């Protein structure tokens, strides 16, 4: 006797932060709720299987298979003392972190350059910013005495830094020099 069990497939889109940290998501099917537990470090294309979940939602045998898709985010990510570890130190991508403050004129000059480069290098290099006034512990830890200060990270380790508002061509060359 052959079995006519059909599995159901879904796609679940996550941010890079959610995929790195792990997340619980709710799936609703036929007015039934299922918890989808996505483990930390999940990569794009990972399959999460909910064994025999169709018994709960449809009253029949079968699994729900969820394909994880990760949104590649461009743009400068605002980080703080709570998110710095996940966004910067645990990032699989190299990271440029801009230590800045809203009252700092040179900081405002470099902000559009960071935005432009984040779009250009999207998916290859992550760009983040830390407001030193709102995150004094991070500013002290990284000795952000003069701003803007850019700190370059690879595999969670600082591999370079720069102080002052760099013109776009200079910052672009520095990124190539540091990250290759």
pLDDT tens for the chain, 180 residues long, are: 446 778 999 988 887 777 888 889 888 899 999 999 999 888 889 999 999 999 999 999 999 999 998 876 568 999 999 999 999 999 999 999 999 999 999 999 999 999 999 988 887 899 999 999 999 999 999 999 999 999 999 999 999 999 999 999 999 999 999 998
The fold of 77-179 is Glutaredoxin (3.40.30)
Whole-angstrom Cα distance, residue 39 to residue 25? 11
Whole-angstrom Cα distance, residue 179 to residue 177? 6
Whole-angstrom Cα distance, residue 21 to residue 180? 27
pTM of the entire structure?
A: 0.61
Q: Are 32 and 9 in contact (CB under 8 A)?
A: no
Q: Judge: domain 8-71, CATH 2.60.260.20.
A: yes
Beta strands in the chain (DSSP E): 8-15, 23-29, 32-38, 47-50, 64-71, 77-78, 95-100, 126-131, 149-154, 157-163
Residue 70 is predicted with a pLDDT of 81
Strands 47-50 and 126-131: unpaired
Residue 167 is predicted with a pLDDT of 93
Residue 128 annotated in active site: no
Catalytic residue among 50, 96, 107, 125: 107
**Where in the chain are the domains?**
8-71, 77-179
Which residues 6+ apart lie within 8 Å of 19 measured at CB?
Answer: 38, 41, 42, 43, 44, 68, 70
Peptide bond into 148 cis (omega under 30): yes
Catalytic residue among 68, 76, 88, 104: 104
């Amino acid at each position: 006797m052959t079995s006519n069990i059909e599995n159901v497939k879904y796609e679940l889109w996550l941010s890079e932060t959610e995929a790195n940290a792990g997340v619980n998501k709710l799936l609703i099917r036929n007015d039934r709720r299922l918890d989808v537990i996505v483990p930390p470090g999940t990569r794009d294309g990972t399959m999460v299987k909910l064994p025999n979940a169709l018994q709960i939602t449809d009253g029949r045998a079968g699994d729900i298979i969820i394909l994880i898709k990760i949104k590649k985010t461009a743009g400068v990510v605002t980080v703080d003392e709570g998110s710095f570890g996940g966004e910067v130190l645990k990032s699989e991508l190299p990271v440029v972190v801009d230590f800045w403050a809203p009252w700092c004129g040179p900081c405002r000059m470099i902000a559009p350059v960071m935005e432009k480069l984040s779009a250009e290098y999207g998916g290859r290099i992550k760009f983040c910013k830390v407001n030193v006034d709102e995150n004094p512990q991070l500013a002290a830890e990284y000795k952000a005495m003069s701003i803007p200060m850019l700190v370059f990270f690879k595999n969670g380790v600082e591999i370079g830094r720069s102080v002052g508002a760099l013109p776009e061509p200079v910052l672009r060359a520095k990124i190539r020099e540091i990250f290759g």
